[in-house]
Structure 1
Amino acid sequence: MSDTLTLMARAAQDAAALLPRRTGPHGFDSWPAFKAAFDAVDRPTTALLRERLEIALPGTAWAEEIDTDLPPGGEQWVVDAVDGAVQYLQGLPQWSVSIALVREGRPVLAALHSAVLGHTYTAALGGGAFLDGAPITPSGKTDLSLALVATSQPPFVGRQPGAVADAGRALSLLLPAVGAVRNLGPTSWQLADVGSGRIDAFYEYGRDAGNLLAGSLVASEAGALVTDINGRPWHPASPGFLAAPPALHGRILSLLATARTTPAG
């Protein structure tokens, strides 16, 4: 496991190094232009990752994008070669490479690398979580009013209108109760930052397994509580997500529960 995790981290770092640093927006003004710009950066990084990960575990199944359909058994790579591609193409620094190895429907290894920050998160199920090789722990804050809470939206959020409505109500309830709510994407990196205490908590409505698998392992192995919006153990088909240190998790969960039951309008 340790050798595979080391190879995953190096693959993420090398893939990120393939991408040129952007200092301004790409300038696309249509969906085909955006898709072409995305493919131009995603294809070479994905190809490198597939090559390196095949060396680590030959024949393992592969998924670049995933919602809820994980195989019930066996192993699978869940990879986002440019996690935060929208930000990258806009010339913003909030992007990373994300790799998770999923076994029997749950993440068992994770590696995330930010080329801009020069940092790498790694985690192994039962083996802890690390930032640049040093063990990490989540925030020790106990005062919710000082908490920096992050959030995100699943891809193609228009397909999940209920998630949109719940997210809007949750934001209205959380803003007066916490220090700040931010979307500092990409999703996976925000979750990993919960593990290191840079972000105090992260929540999201809707199904978004592909973006949550790697970061959720980092957060949970660091010591954060990782559940769905109902407080049950999170799994890839869950319609919501919360990661927070034990001292904050219950109070944030209560606010999110209120959001689910408060009528809109």
Structure 2
Amino acid sequence: MSESLQTTDIAATAGAASDADLLAQTADAVRAAGSVLRERFGDVVRYQTREELMQALAANDDAALDILRPALTALRPDSRFVEDELAGGALPAGEWWVVDPAEGNVNHLHALPDWAVTATLVRDNQPVLTAVHLPLTGQTYTALTGGGAHLDGRPLHVSHTTDLGLSIVATSQARPDEDEKIVRRIGSSITAMLLDALVVRTSVPATLHLVNVAAGRIDAFWQYAGARADLLPGALLVSEAGGQISDAQGRPWTPRSESLLAAAPGVHAEAVTTLSR
């Protein structure tokens, strides 16, 4: 091996080790933020107007961000922070933290258990690492590009199912202010999957479906539109767990895509066929 190749290999190894260390520290940050939200969890939060709902959602977000923002900024001082968790599309070049401080926030307000805290580091529009913490169970899902996906340190792998007719699949609801065409497309896709799959689950948030795909508990997840913070953590987890990521028509997925399909390899092609009707 030449000296130049040795130098390159050493540098790559050092970079990988650095990202692995960063992932561990990111997981600590989402766990700390999750403990704050867990303390706020309990009774149903009552609201009578859209304004009161938005205020309650913001209060949860702010409580978690008070922990996440300084912790993640300290880890990567030169990285920028995506301010709008509902935004989609590509990011400018460079390194960004994409965070959802209370993924499934509306469930938290309704005393439902389906919520999480997520943080994903994106480098030149490619997710590098992600940590998803479920405060009520204490579980933490992590993924590192090229380093696999894990649940509390245990490797994850997508299911080995090869028949969509024997599969549990899932999708997530459109936002209340979503374009009507997208809402109707979601409805027609659910109908198509009800005809072809064994069981169809429909709920929010997207991330909790995606961690189930990564863990092999369900076989496919699809969504139309969606924010970066909804999709990037789960997309990396599923990919690193051996799943296939594309848009609903089977084309390569990017944050610019209008849909996402994350599936076990054995049912991906069938899911594309169903969603392409």
Q: Is the structural similarity TM-score above 0.5?
A: yes
2:31 pairs with 1:45: no
Secondary structure of 2:195's partner? coil
Secondary structure of 2:46's partner? coil
For these two proteins, the number of residue pairs brought into alignment is 257
Quote the residue 2:50 is aligned against: 31
Unmatched segments (≥5 aa) in structure 2: 1-18
Distance 1:155 1:100, change over 3 A: farther
CA distance in 2, matches of 1:240, 1:118: 30
Quote the residue 2:275 is aligned against: 256
Distance 1:69 1:242, change over 3 A: closer
Quote the residue 2:28 is aligned against: 10
Q: Return the TM-score normalized by structure 1.
A: 0.92
2:180 pairs with 1:161: yes
2:165 pairs with 1:145: yes
Deviations 1:201-236 (A, max 9, x none): 100112432210111000101010000112111111
Q: Could you tell me whether the CA contact under 8 Å between 1:70 and 1:105 is conserved in 2?
A: yes
Task: Find the partner of 2:147 among 127, 138, 146.
Answer: 127
Give 1:221's aligned amino acid: E
Q: Could you tell me whether the CA contact under 8 Å between 1:66 and 1:78 is conserved in 2?
A: no
Unmatched segments (≥5 aa) in structure 1: 259-265
2:134 pairs with 1:114: yes
CA distance in 2, matches of 1:247, 1:86: 34
Is 35-44 or 128-137 further displaced after alignment? 35-44
2:88 pairs with 1:68: yes
Quote the residue 1:100 is aligned against: 120
CA distance in 1, matches of 2:226, 2:203: 19
Secondary structure of 1:175's partner? helix
CA-based RMSD of the aligned residues comes to 1.5
Q: Return the TM-score normalized by structure 2.
A: 0.88
Quote the residue 1:263 is aligned against: none
After TM superposition, list the pairs within 5 Å mapping 1:162-201 onto structure 2.
162-201=181-220
Q: Could you tell me whether the CA contact under 8 Å between 2:247 and 2:257 is conserved in 1?
A: yes
Q: CA deviation at 1:195?
A: 0.6
Bigger radius of gyration among the two: 2
CA distance in 2, matches of 1:73, 1:154: 28
